[in-house]
Structure 1
Amino acid sequence: MSAQDTGPPQPEEATPSDGAPLRRVLKLAFPALGVLAAEPLYLLVDTAVVGHLGALPLAALAVGGVVLAQVSTQLTFLSYGTTARTARLFGAGRRSEAVAEGVQATWLAVFVGLVVLLVGQLLAAPIASLLSGSEEIAESSVRWLRIALFGAPLILITMAGNGWMRGVQDAVRPLRYVLAGNAISAVLCPILVYPVGWGLEGSAVANVVAQVISAGLFIRALLVERGRGVSLRPKPAVMRAQLGLGRDLVLRSLAFQACFVSAAAVAARTSTEAVGAHQVVLQLWTFLSLVLDSLAIAAQSLVGAALGARAGDQARRMAGQIARYGLVFGCGLGVLFAAVSGVLPRVFTADAGVLAEIPNAWWFFVALQPIAGLVFALDGVLLGAADAAFLRTATLLSAATGFLPMIWLSLAFGWGLLGIWSGLALFMVLRMGAVLGRIRSGKWAVLGAVRG
């Protein structure tokens, strides 16, 4: 990364082009997919390195990793919420103010990150003990977690940086910054773990190094913007407004967590084979969610910019086009995974019992892809419109009336994976009905640089 890498020319005016041609959507979606996939791929490398230390360090990494993952899972408003606010200002031709939103999101990331760091250090031991069920695993995971938590503020700075850059439709730099940190850390991890001899703690140090590099690059980008007249001073009023949007997104995220944790708990109480099959299919679902989420990120940026430019008809046309792309993309994924149904599960397991259980979830997974493609695309449209309050309510109601009742009825009546994945299907259908109704109502298309 050269010192001259200050990004593309920065126009002060932004005029969204008419509609959302596929090429334009993919230009934003592909780099976003790279950013979304970078962290899971790095964690695979980390797991492979630590796995050779033995079962105990691997178990400790699993426990510590779950705790740290909640930071990014529950605080996604620093990326998605920032994109929504920034895109509107960018579309209104107020790029400097759009970047200033990124500055305030970065300050917010620092403050929230420091709180997470302090609270995490205090609660690391009891949380690890609760999750691990073994004193030996808990002790190892706490050692890893206490180091890795120093990366929490840096993780949040990176999320904020992704948010404002996506909002100004600069999707390539975030990918480069995240890959730079993760690539260097992936090389450093095995060196610290083995030749240096730090073992599991070496993995945590490498993790923090990755976050230092990525966050440092995003901070450097803001320092460059200061030379263009963007103030770097904290503004509490703006941060409070960002937290308001963040509250809705955090509640929405908690609904997802409650559903999927409950599903895993019920699968575990069904049988060993059922929980193994559920894990295989759920990991594929999670991976495809990342793929579809990249389309939603593109929708956020484009629709937010159109609404900021007061181009309501254009935003509605974009919503229709992006919905069609999501539906077609989901249908393609469904056909693909139907075709490999007899082959792909065997890549993950050779256990006959698990393989026998997988079809009970697999065909729900396949059939839901078109619905997921449509729902994710329209989620992106509504997030771009900063309609987070509606998405919060729709997700909570869909979880409370669809997913959670079916999961616990499945446990009570012994429906197994059929019941669990029926719950997911009902959850997705309810969400689809909600977002389609919202899009058709037109209430989401509030014009102007700031919603409401």
Structure 2
Amino acid sequence: MRRPLRFHPTRDDREIARLAVPAFLALVAEPLFLLGDAAVIGHLGTPELAGLGIAATVLQTLVGLCVFLAYGTTAGVARQLGAGRRGAALGQGIDGLWLAVAIGVPVTALGIALTGPLVAAFGAGAGVSEPAVDYLRVALLGVTPLLLMLAATGVLRGLQDTRTPMYVAIAGNVANLGLNVVLVFGAGPVPGLGIVGSALGSVLAQLASAAVLIAVVTRAARREGTSLVPRRRGILAAGRAGVPLLIRTLTLRASLLVTTYAVVAASTSAAEESVPIAAHQLALTIWGFLAFALDAIAIAAQAITGRYLGAGDADATRTVTARMVRWGVVSGIATGLGLAAVSPWLGHLFTPDTAVRDALVPVLLVAALAQPVAGVVFVLDGVLIGAGDGPYLAWAGLAVLAGYAPVVLLTGWAGAALPWLWVVFGALFMGGRYVTLTRRAAGDRWLVTGA
């Protein structure tokens, strides 16, 4: 029988940092794909930037719903690793890669066929909808590579390797930004493609990143003698295990979708409809950037929690959880103060439109106030995912959505200003998640040990 992995404050702080710092750089690099697109497209015009906001919301929803490919795989692989079963861990990872393909191909085909209706559902005018359709139809070709990146990254995180995804994410973003500039504005013999060029550049960068991550995982599997052939039973098991996390993610994405819908509804009475929509898109993209940064500790929490529970040490799991929550609080305070300090100047990075920049500042100040709560929420979310507590996360997500959606929609239909919609977002959505997660973590039902 394997010896339990005992918690040691100094050693485990170092381990949290070893996993979290590369995960931070990788996670920050992910939203930089959209930040890069926003920075380039913002110089095409405000309608194009607003169109990107709608297209990005649809694309992030489709891909974000499948984040269980990373999170579920991280937890499962880490448990097997803690139990000393590296070959079985990589077998679960290969199943996850095949599941990504099985999901990605039909989602891509269906998404391209329904691009027009998906954009039209937001109710924006033709000036915003047309660039949204142009961008989304091409960007959907990157869905399968993105899902493969999620699955492969989950395997490596479960193996306690967050450095490789970091290197790939940084290289992919450098390629994405370069391709965006060339394909949007043109260079030499390459014609400028406008907003379509931005989508195409992102797809090419995503294809290259997925290829590198898959190569790393398959090489590790071969070293352990793990088969690369798709196993129907393993793929189905991975799919069933991911259902609760899919529901949990669906509730999160639905909350962001109804927020954007509420912003569009409130903007119909504005003198310039695209201004609040564009400002919301920039604020949501920056929020995502900071959310992924805070999620770095959650990634470490998934990997460490799974490994400790796999090794059978529930006491150490609870102790290291408290340690990571403190990390989350400190990180949330730091990102909140940083965001508040730079809020007057951030808009200048993305758009020359003074009205959009002015509308963005108060929204960012509201978002800054919510950062310490977000730090706790993301860490505990990672802990419970690492513990395999998906069913609770699914039910908690449904409860929060049921309380949040009606209020934010009513606020939008009442024509509330954009900062007030973000106040509702921070108080009800993030506050609701804080309550449900802290209550669960205080109990013992999630502390299930074994592989």
SS at match of 1:376: helix
Deviation, 1:199, is: 1.1
The one of 237, 243, 246 equivalent to 1:247 is 243
How far apart are the structure 2 equivalents of 1:132 and 1:151? 25
Residue 175 of structure 1 deviates from its aligned partner by 1.3
Higher mean alpha-carbon deviation, 403-412 vs 56-65, is at: 56-65
Q: Could you tell me which amino acid in structure 2 is paired with residue 399 of structure 1? A: L
Distance in 2 of aligned mates of 1:208 and 1:263 = 27
- CA 1:358/1:213 → structure 2, altered by over 3 Å: closer, same or farther? closer
Q: Distance in 2 between matches of 1:357 and 1:148?
A: 26
Residue identity in the other structure for 2:377: V
**Residue 174 (structure 2) pairs with residue 175 (structure 1):** no
Structure 1 58/14 Cα, relative in aligned 2: closer, same or farther at 3 Å?
A: farther
Counterpart in 2 of 1:199? 193
- Partner residue in 1 for 2:226: 230
Paired residue for 2:446, among 422, 444, 447? 444
Number of the residue aligned with 2:287? 285
User: Which stretch of structure 1 is more off in the superposition, 176-185 or 288-297?
Assistant: 176-185
- Answer with 106-115 or 199-208: which moved more: 199-208
2:7 corresponds, among 11, 15, 18, to: 18
Q: Is the 8 A contact 1:15 1:93 kept in 2?
A: no
Aligned Cα root-mean-square deviation (Å): 3.3
Is the partner of 1:105 in helix, strand or coil? helix
Q: 1:137 to 1:237 in 2, by over 3 A?
A: same
Kept in 1, the 8 Å contact 2:309–2:448? The answer is yes
Would the aligned equivalents of 1:364 and 1:425 in 2 still touch at CA under 8 Å? no
Alignment partner of 1:212 is 2:201: no
User: Is 2:370 the partner of 1:365?
Assistant: no
Alignment of 1:109-128 (within 5 A): 109-128=100-119
Moved more, 366-375 or 59-68: 59-68
Question: Is the contact between residue 276 and residue 354 of structure 1 (CA under 8 Å) also seen in structure 2?
Answer: no
Q: How big is each residue's C-alpha offset from its partner over 1:305-358, in whole Å with a ceiling of 9 and x where there is no partner?
A: 0001111111111111111221232234444555x3xx6235427958985895
Q: Which runs of 5+ in 1 are unaligned?
A: 1-12
Question: 1:410, 1:420 within 8 Å by CA — same for their partners in 2?
Answer: no
Q: How many residues align?
A: 432
Q: Which has the higher contact order (CA 8 A, sep 6+)?
A: 2
Identity %, equivalent residues: 36
Deviation per CA, 1:275-325: give whole Å up to 9, x if none: 677556544433321111111111000011000111111111111111122
Matched, 1:311 2:313: yes
2:144 and 2:6 mapped to 1: Cα distance? 36
Is the Cα contact below 8 Å between 2:335 and 2:371 reproduced in 1? yes
- Range with greater deviation from structure 2 (168-177 or 45-54): 45-54
> When the two structures are superposed, what TM-score results if normalisation uses the length of structure 1?
0.84
Distance verdict in 2 for CA 1:319–1:418, change over 3 Å: same
Residues 1:392 and 2:394 aligned together = yes
Question: What SS class does the counterpart of residue 114 from structure 2 fall into?
Answer: helix
CA contact (8 A) 2:31 2:288 kept: no
In the alignment, the residues of structure 1 paired with residue 179 and residue 424 of structure 2 have an alpha-carbon distance, to the nearest angstrom, of 44
Q: Distance in 2 between matches of 1:368 and 1:209?
A: 35
Say yes or no: does 1:90 pair with 2:67. no
CA offset at residue 390 of structure 1? 0.6
Asked if the contact 1:14/1:91 (under 8 Å) is kept, the reply is no
2:56 paired with 1:76: no
Aligned partners of 1:397, 1:64: CA distance in 2, in Å?
A: 27
Q: 2:31–2:289: 8 Å Cα contact kept in structure 1?
A: no
Q: Report how far residue 409 of structure 1 moved.
A: 4.6
Amino acid at match of 1:199: L
Aligned partners of 2:421 and 2:39: how far apart in 1? 34
Deviation at 1:115, TM superposition (A): 0.8
State whether residues 404 and 423 of structure 1, in contact with CA within 8 Å, keep that contact through their aligned partners in structure 2.
Answer: no
Distance 1:40 1:365 in 2: 17
Aligned position for 2:408 = 407
C-alpha distance in structure 1 between counterparts of 2:192 and 2:365, whole Å = 45
Quick one: distance in 2 between partners of 1:396 and 1:422?
17
Change (3 A) 1:197 1:16: farther
Distance (whole Å) between structure 2 residues aligned to residue 57 and residue 14 of structure 1: 58
Q: 1:7: which partner in 2?
A: none
Q: Quick check: 128-137 or 159-168, which moved more?
A: 128-137
Match of 1:425 in 2: 427
Give, as a single letter, the amino acid of the residue that structure 1 aligns with 2:436: A
What residue is the counterpart of 2:328 in the other structure? 326
Q: Give the whole-Å Cα distance in 2 for the aligned partners of 1:188 and 1:363.
A: 33
Deviations 1:156-191 (A, max 9, x none): 111101101000101101111233333234333433
Q: Determine if contact 1:91/1:309 at 8 Å carries over to the other structure.
A: yes
Provide the C-alpha distance between the structure 2 equivalents of 1:189 and 1:347, rounded to a whole number of angstroms: 20
Counterparts in 2 of 1:327 and 1:221: CA distance versus 1, 3 Å:
same
Code of the aligned partner of 2:162: A
Secondary structure at 2:228 match in 1: coil
* TM-score of the two chains, using structure 2 as the length reference: 0.84
**CA-CA distance at 1:253 after TM superposition:** 2.1
